[in-house]
């Protein structure tokens, strides 16, 4: 067995393509090949293109172990991925991961996905990833106003970016969607259509973006000198099962309600299912708006009007911001807030 292992290792070594292999195939020095692969300014573009093509054709891959030892970098980044329910992946988060991983791969970084299950301590998940020393930067989602994970990363000096804002005094890299604006627009749209007491179904109030939805929603009511009864704001996990339960409970309590803004397309899936079970017809006797980071809203029957910004693009922007953070750019220049687009479909009706 030992002899077979040695033979296999010898074969792998013989097949490994190194910088010297590429250099020899082109009649160039190892130094020139190394600099060309890094787009070194001392190497002309023609040579860079020639070296990169040869490296690709030969199957050259950099020795990350050696690079890590020389630079102290892992060339890996970590994404904390929350799992809100057993046995199912949130497709919205999955599209974000896809956008992020693809963009980081183009920059030469591997992505480590660290799962955070319902019973896990969110801070411990982040701390374990950092203290293992296996990543050069971290991505966080589902931020909270006073987020202990962000406080820890700031103290640890670990480059990171959040999808979502906090209310901390210390600036940190982040990208977010203008959720307050969405809350305002959704309230205005339903009220303008004559729905006097629409429901708001928001994500858990522990998350910053949920509070932003509520702030925008209530501000529009206040602007019209209307009050928002607390009992007409529902909080739920962003899952179909939770959305269905909320719909059943809400319509049992308010059987005459005619509209809702469900601020999660997955929760909306369950909400719409419950409406059908209760004999209500979306777009005919019940108006529903949702918020989405995927194209899931196009596959409802009927398709739902939604406030949309693709999470795939958010993932790509997270990659850019994290890379710049790892290069040492100050946090003051690494914050973005983007606006969602309204996509009108057939899920609304007017009472006026």
Residue 338: pLDDT above 60? Answer: yes
Whether residue 14 has pLDDT greater than 80:
no
Tell me the percentage of the chain whose pLDDT exceeds 90. Answer: 65
**Cβ proximity of 260 and 271 under 8 Å:** yes
90-141 tens-digit pLDDT: 666 788 999 999 999 999 899 999 888 888 899 999 999 888 888 999 999 9
Q: Are 254 and 280 in contact (CB under 8 A)?
A: no
Mean pLDDT taken over the chain: 88
- Extents of the domains making up the chain: 2-61, 76-177+311-336, 179-310
pLDDT of 12 reads: 41
pLDDT above 70 for 75: yes
Residue 251's SS3 state is helix
177, two tokens: 């969607």
Is the CATH code 3.40.190.10 the one for domain 76-177+311-336? no
Q: Please check whether the two domains, 2-61 and 179-310, share a CATH topology.
A: no
- What pLDDT does residue 87 have? 59
Q: 179-310 belongs to which homologous superfamily? A: Response regulator (3.40.50.2300)
Whether pTM exceeds 0.85: no
Distances (CA, A) of 97 to 103, 139, 268, 310, 316: 10, 10, 22, 12, 9
Residue 217 has pLDDT above 80, yes or no: yes
Could you read off the pLDDT of 239-251 as tens digits, one per residue?
Answer: 888 999 999 999 9
User: Residue 138: what pLDDT?
Assistant: 96
| The pLDDT value given to residue 82 | 81
> What pLDDT band is residue 72 in, cutting at 50, 70 and 90?
low
Q: CA-CA distances (angstroms) from residue 133 to 128, 238, 239, 255, 320?
A: 9, 32, 34, 55, 22
CATH architecture of 2-61: Orthogonal Bundle (1.10)
């Amino acid at each position: 067995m030992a002899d077979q292992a040695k033979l296999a290792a010898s074969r792998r070594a013989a097949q490994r393509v190194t910088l010297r292999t590429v250099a020899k195939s082109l009649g160039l020095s190892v130094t020139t090949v190394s600099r060309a692969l890094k787009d070194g300014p001392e190497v002309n573009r023609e040579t860079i293109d020639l070296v990169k093509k040869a490296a690709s054709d030969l199957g050259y891959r950099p020795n990350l172990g050696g690079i890590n030892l020389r630079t102290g970098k892992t060339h890996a980044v970590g994404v904390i991925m929350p799992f809100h329910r057993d046995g199912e992946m949130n497709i919205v988060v999955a599209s974000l991961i896809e956008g992020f991983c693809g963009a980081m791969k183009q920059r030469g970084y591997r992505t480590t996905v660290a799962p955070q299950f319902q019973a896990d301590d969110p801070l411990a998940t982040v701390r374990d990833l950092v203290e293992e020393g296996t990543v050069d930067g971290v991505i966080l989602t589902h931020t909270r106003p006073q987020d202990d994970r962000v406080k820890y990363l700031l103290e640890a000096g670990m480059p990171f970016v959040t999808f979502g804002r906090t209310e901390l005094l210390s600036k940190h890299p982040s990208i977010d969607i203008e959720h307050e604006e969405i809350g305002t627009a959704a309230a205005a749209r339903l009220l303008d259509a004559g729905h006097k007491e629409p429901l708001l179904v928001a994500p858990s109030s522990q998350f910053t973006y949920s509070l932003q939805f509520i702030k925008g929603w209530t501000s529009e009511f206040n602007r019209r000198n209307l009050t928002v009864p607390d009992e007409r704001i529902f909080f739920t996990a962003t899952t179909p099962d939770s959305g269905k339960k909320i719909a059943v409970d809400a319509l049992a309590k308010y059987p005459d309600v005619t509209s809702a803004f469900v601020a999660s397309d997955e929760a909306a899936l369950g909400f719409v299912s419950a409406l059908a079970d209760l004999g209500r017809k979306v777009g005919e006797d019940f108006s529903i708006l949702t918020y989405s980071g995927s194209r899931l809203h196009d596959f409802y029957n009927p398709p739902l009007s939604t406030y949309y910004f693709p999470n795939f693009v958010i993932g790509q922007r997270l990659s850019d911001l994290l890379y710049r953070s790892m290069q040492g750019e100050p946090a003051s220049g690494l914050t973005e807030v983007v606006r969602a687009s309204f996509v009108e479909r057939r899920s609304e009706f007017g009472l006026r």
